[in-house]
Amino acid sequence: MVVEVEEKIKAILISELEIKPGILATSNSSTPLLGRGIGLDSVETLSLVAGIEKEFDIQIDDDDLKVDLFKNIGTLAEYVLKKLIEKKGR
Amino acid sequence: MNTIPEMLKTVAKQNAGRTAIVDEGVAIDYATLERRITSLAAELYGRGIRQGDRVALLLPNGLDFVIGYFAIAALGVIVVPLNDHYQQTELLYFLEECGVSLVITSQSFARLCDQVLSMCRSPCKLIFVEDQTEPSETALTSLPDLKVEIDPDAPVMYQFSSGSTGRPKRVARTHANLLFELNSLVQTLRLSNEDRFLGVAPFSHVNGLMRSMMASIRAGAALYPLAKFERQAIAEVIENQKITIFIAVPFMFSMIAKTNFRKRPDFSSLRLCVSASAPMPKKLNEEFYKKFWIYVRQLYGSTETGTISVNLRSDIEGSIESVGTTISGVEVEIFAEDGCIGNVGEGGEIAVKSPGAIKGYDGLDEVNREVFRNGYFFTGDLGKKDQGGLLYLIGRKKFFINKGGYKIDPHEIEELLESHAKVEEAVVIGLPTSYGDEKVKAVIVLNIPTTEEEIIKYCQGKIADFKIPSLIEFRGSLPKSPTGKVLRKMLMES
């Protein structure tokens, strides 16, 4: 399940943030989203969050928007998965 | 009232018991605000700061920023507001360019400031807001009389403008410039002390500073500053505090419109949403309207002139992309390529005459001759006017990149990239995103092979993260005109 979420996040990175598919092809769960890695900055992380909320129909709390959340694709995917499980349980 | 300190004094007297600022749920009234400003001004004076000195503010939006700004101005000292995302190279440049002798900042910037100050050629000290305590009544009554005679035409603030050549240019706006703009904003936007402003656009930038922070104080209104752009926090403040004025940039409105709120927030208290710093795409404006039932009004201004125009038309649907008509006291003309004033509907460079505008950049005679002519400031923006006098922005002559509302001078990044030993030549361009802003792309010619990773690492810590290129392309050569000028447009289209 988490792999599917990761793939969808990668698709958002390509469609919404125009990240080169080549960069993502060589990325994995532990590829950092910020700085070296995917190279997102503080403005782009907000665009990614908006894209994720739309794609998964979830709400991401501002309080959760910490550097740790964007540590890598895996941490973000796990967070999204947790939100999806919470949504299902409601 | 002829100066910013006089304005504060008058407003504070007229609105003494009214709420001035609500920061993180704590409200203070105008009388208290004025007392705290006086107390900090006295401390600055005690530390040897005198009229004409330059003091920088490196703080996020908040009460401390407001107190710092007015305390500096109270002494006839020049305020240098700095973006709190800036890194080493940028801070060093701005501190040295302005001859700053003291920085008011917070402990969270202590390490960065220490690094920068150790590199400064002239001495510069720090004051931390955490070390400031609320003054007691006794302490306040024993403050020395700080009455300073201030010339209304003396500079009160240094800001920086992205330019077509070289480094950012210093813009010195005077007390008279700012007061003209603030009075005109109050009149045009019908601001009053009943208004409640959301202060989310950065106060370090002309938009957040003049149209949120200063306009709110000028009107005797209540200001609700937010240190960070947080979507739920913004929605909560607007709904719970019944905010009436929301000034931001297109990217912020776009993010709010795209947010998947658990419960759609009630924005019915808003009477005015104003976007500035970049054109707001029609599609994004309609998206915002569909969710919150209010259109975002476009305002046009520049660091050099302050506010130029705003679209307050009642039939907004028909002119949604216009930046409206000039605010009271400002004139705009469109100059065609032949240097003559163009006809209605004809595109050309926008030139502005305004008592809020500076008369020139300090020490840049050549640039001044080019952009300050016949009483006009030539903005470098391209526009046209329709039959009804509505102004439309259609492009720009000078290159800069709008990233999430931050204006980035590509030359600044190019200069940094070209200081890398393996880079022969670099050109930085902006590519449009679906959020109404642009992403930063660097096209680089190398003299020794290297990787994107190495280039990004080299930029980190030297410039703000939003300036670091998101896309890097290595090329064997850059497209150039016969005269050797890089064809940026070709790179943007390719």
Domains located in chain B, CATH noted: 4-228 (3.40.50.12780), 401-493 (3.30.300.30)
Question: What is the spatial distance between Cα B302 and Cα B168, in angstroms, rounded to a whole number?
Answer: 14
Phi, psi of B297 (to 5 degrees): -85, 135
CB pairs under 8 A between A and B: 63
- Among candidates B367, B229, B170, B209, which has minimal Cα distance to B301? B209
Query: Which residue from B232, B262, B466 is facing A62, i.e. has the nearest CB?
Result: B232
What pLDDT, in 10s, does the model give residues B5-39? Answer: 999 999 999 999 999 999 999 999 999 999 999 99
Query: What's the angle, vertex CA B482, arms to CA B481 and CA B487, rounded to 5?
Result: 5
Q: What is the mean pLDDT of chain A?
A: 86
Mean pLDDT of A66-73: 87
Question: What is the spatial distance between Cα B3 and Cα B1, in angstroms, rounded to a whole number?
Answer: 6
B318 has a pLDDT exceeding 60 = yes
Weakest mean pLDDT among B361-370, B385-394, B396-405, B470-479: B396-405
Contacts of B121 (CB under 8 A, 6+ apart): B96
The verdict on a CB contact (< 8 Å) between B260 and A57 is yes
Amino acid at A64: D
Which of 28-87 (A) contact B at CB < 8 A?
35-36, 39-44, 46-47, 50, 53-54, 57-59, 61-62, 65
Per-residue pLDDT at B15 = 98
Per-residue pLDDT at B145 = 66
Residue of A nearest to B261 (CA): A59
Per-residue pLDDT at A40 = 83
Per-residue pLDDT at B147 = 76
B429 has a pLDDT exceeding 80 = yes
3-class secondary structure, B341: strand
Per-residue pLDDT at B142 = 61
Residue with tokens 């999204």: A80
CB atoms within 10 A of CB B46: 10
Question: What is the spatial distance between Cα B385 and Cα B402, in angstroms, rounded to a whole number?
Answer: 24
Mean pLDDT of B217-243: 96
B62 has a pLDDT exceeding 70 = yes
Question: What is the spatial distance between Cα B384 and Cα B333, in angstroms, rounded to a whole number?
Answer: 9
Beta bridge partners, B23, equal: B26
The verdict on a CB contact (< 8 Å) between A42 and B465 is yes
Query: What's the angle, vertex CA B43, arms to CA B38 and CA B45, rounded to 5?
Result: 90
What pLDDT, in 10s, does the model give residues B118-134? Answer: 999 989 999 999 998 77
Per-residue pLDDT at B41 = 94
Find which of A61-65, B306-310, B337-341 is predicted with most confidence, using mean pLDDT: B306-310
The verdict on a CB contact (< 8 Å) between A20 and B404 is no
Question: What is the spatial distance between Cα B208 and Cα B155, in angstroms, rounded to a whole number?
Answer: 19
Q: How far is B255 from chain A (nearest CA, A)?
A: 7
Per-residue pLDDT at A36 = 65
Q: How far is B237 from chain A (nearest CA, A)?
A: 14
3-class secondary structure, B50: coil
CB atoms within 10 A of CB B460: 12
Per-residue pLDDT at B395 = 81
Per-residue pLDDT at B31 = 95
Find which of B236-240, B252-256, B447-451 is predicted with most confidence, using mean pLDDT: B236-240
The verdict on a CB contact (< 8 Å) between B460 and A35 is yes
What pLDDT, in 10s, does the model give residues B396-425? Answer: 777 788 888 888 888 889 989 999 999 999
B444 has a pLDDT exceeding 70 = yes
Contact B79, B55 (CB under 8 A): yes
Question: What is the spatial distance between Cα B407 and Cα B401, in angstroms, rounded to a whole number?
Answer: 6
According to DSSP, the β-strands at B155-161 and B372-373 are unpaired
Question: What is the spatial distance between Cα B42 and Cα B140, in angstroms, rounded to a whole number?
Answer: 9
Q: How far is A83 from chain B (nearest CA, A)?
A: 13
Q: What is the mean pLDDT of chain B?
A: 92
- Domains along the sequence of chain A with CATH: 2-89 (1.10.1200.10)
Per-residue pLDDT at B165 = 52
The verdict on a CB contact (< 8 Å) between A44 and B255 is no
Judging contacts by C-beta atoms under 8 Å, the chain A residues touching residue B439 are: 17-18, 44
**Burial status of residue A66 (CB atoms within 10 A of its CB: 0-12, 13-18, 19 or more):** exposed
Residue with tokens 């939100």: A83
Mean pLDDT of B228-253: 95
Question: What is the spatial distance between Cα A78 and Cα A31, in angstroms, rounded to a whole number?
Answer: 14
The verdict on a CB contact (< 8 Å) between B466 and A43 is yes
Quote ipTM for the complex.
0.72
B252 has a pLDDT exceeding 60 = yes
Question: What is the spatial distance between Cα B357 and Cα B271, in angstroms, rounded to a whole number?
Answer: 28
Mean pLDDT of A29-38: 78
A68 has a pLDDT exceeding 90 = no
Residues in B whose CB is inside 8 Å of some CB of A read 85, 229-233, 251, 255, 258-262, 403-404, 406, 431, 433-435, 437, 439, 452-453, 456-457, 460, 465-466, 468, 470-471
Q: State the angle between helix axes of B4-14 and B63-74 in degrees (0 to 180), rounded to the nearest 10.
A: 120
Per-residue pLDDT at B480 = 79
B485 has a pLDDT exceeding 90 = no
A22 has a pLDDT exceeding 80 = no
B140 has a pLDDT exceeding 70 = no
pLDDT band at A32 (very low <50, low <70, confident <90, very high): confident
Phi, psi of B281 (to 5 degrees): -60, 140
